[in-house]
Chain A
Amino acid sequence: MSRVTMRSAFISVAVTIAGLHLVAVTLAALPPNRYSDATASRTGYLEPYFAQNWRLFAPAPVAQDREVLFQGSYVGDDGTARRTAWVSWTGVELDLIRHRLVGGRAGYVTNKLYGPLSQRYRGLGLAQRAIADGTDETAPPSWSELRADLSAGGADPVRVRTYVLYEEAAARLGTEVLEARTGHELTAVRYRLRAHSVVPYAQRTGSEVERQAARPSPTQRESGWRVPTTGGARERDAVAAFDRRHR
Chain B
Amino acid sequence: MIERAVGWLSQEKHSTYGLAVTRMILGLVVASQLVVNWDDRHYTWGDGAEWTAPVRDATSWPSFLGLFGRLDGRAFDALYLLTIVFGVLLMVGYRTRATAIVTLFLWMSLYVANPFVGSGGDAVLRMVLLYLCFTDAGLRWSVDARQRAERGEIRPYVPTWASATLHNLATILIIHQVVMVYVGSAFWKLQSERWMDGTAVYYPLQTDAYSPWHDWLQPLYANGLVIGGATYLAIVVQLFFPVLLIHRPTRLIALVLITGMHLGIGLFMGILYFSLVMIAVDMILVSDSSWLRIAAAVRARGRRPVPQPPSRV
Q: A103-B270, A106-B40 are in contact. Are A48 and B60 (CB under 8 A)?
A: yes
Which residues on the B side are within 8 Å of A104 (C-beta)? Answer: 36-37, 40, 44
B58 at the interface (CB under 8 A from A): yes
- B253 interface residue (CB < 8 Å to A): no
Contact indicator per residue, chain A 16-27, by CB within 8 Å of chain B (1) or not (0): 001001100110
Within 8 A of B (CB), among A54-90: 54-66
Residues in A neighbouring B51, C-beta threshold 8 A: 169, 172-173, 176, 231, 235, 239
Q: Does B98 contact A (CB under 8 A)?
A: no
Task: Give the residues in chain B near A238, CB-CB below 8 Å.
Answer: 42-43, 46-49
User: Which 3 pairs between the two chains have the least Cβ-Cβ distance?
Assistant: A238-B48, A54-B120, A198-B206
B117 touches A105 (CB 8 A): yes
A94 interface neighbour in B43, B55, B208, Cβ under 8 Å = B208
* Given known contacts A10-B162, A99-B212, A198-B207, A245 and B39 CB-to-CB distance under 8 angstroms: yes
Chain B residues with Cβ below 8 Å from A60 are: 192, 194
Instruction: Give the total number of A-B pairs whose CB atoms are below 8 A apart.
Output: 222
Residues from 99 to 154 in A contacting B, C-beta threshold 8 Å: 99-113, 116
Evaluate whether A237 and B173 lie within 8 angstroms (CB atoms) in the complex, with A49-B127, A97-B209 already known.
no
Q: A residues touching B (Cβ–Cβ < 8 Å)?
A: 7-8, 10-11, 14-15, 18, 21-22, 25-26, 29-31, 47-52, 54-66, 94, 96-113, 116, 162, 165-166, 168-169, 172-173, 176, 198-199, 201, 204-205, 208, 231-232, 234-235, 237-239, 241-242, 245
Determine how close the nearest CB of chain A comes to the CB of B68; give it in whole angstroms: 13
Chain A: CB-nearest residue to B172: A18
With both beta carbons as reference points, the residue of chain B lying nearest to A240 in the complex is identified as: B48
Are A7 and B185 closer than 8 Å at their CB atoms? no
State the CA gap A239–B46 with chains docked (Å): 10
A54 with B173: in contact, given A102-B273, A108-B209 (CB under 8 Å)?
A: no
Residues of B within 8 A of A57 (CB): 185, 189, 200, 204
Asked whether, in the complex, the Cβ of B116 is within 8 Å of the Cβ of A97, the reply is no
Give B contacts to A, CB under 8 Å. Answer: 6, 9-10, 33, 36-37, 39-40, 42-44, 46-55, 58-61, 72-73, 114, 116-117, 119-120, 123, 126-127, 130, 159, 161-162, 165-166, 169, 172-173, 176-177, 180-181, 183-185, 187-189, 191-192, 194-195, 199-204, 206-210, 212-213, 216, 218, 221-222, 267, 270-273
Q: Which residues of B contact A21 (CB under 8 A)?
A: 173
Tell me whether A58 and B185 are in contact in the complex, defined as CB-CB below 8 angstroms, given that A97-B208, A169-B55, A201-B199 are known contacts.
yes
Given A11-B10, A234-B73, are A52 and B180 also a contact pair (CB < 8 Å)?
Answer: yes
Which residues from A are CB-within-8-Å of B55? 116, 165-166, 169
Asked whether B44 lies within 8 Å of A52 as measured between CB atoms, the reply is no
What would 14 more interface pairs be, CB under 8 Å, given A58-B195, A103-B271? Answer: A7-B10, A10-B162, A11-B161, A18-B172, A31-B191, A48-B60, A59-B189, A66-B209, A104-B40, A105-B117, A112-B117, A173-B51, A231-B50, A234-B73
Interface of A is mostly: helix
Chain A residues with CB under 8 A of B73? 234
Contacts of B273 in A (CB 8 A): 102
Is the CB–CB distance between A30 and B176 below 8 Å? no
B169-A25 in contact (CB<8A): no
Are B165's CB and A25's CB within 8 A?
no
Distance, CA A111 to CA B208, complexed state (A): 10
Contact A109 B114 (CB under 8 A): yes
Q: How far is the CA of A100 from the CA of B204 in the complex (A)?
A: 16
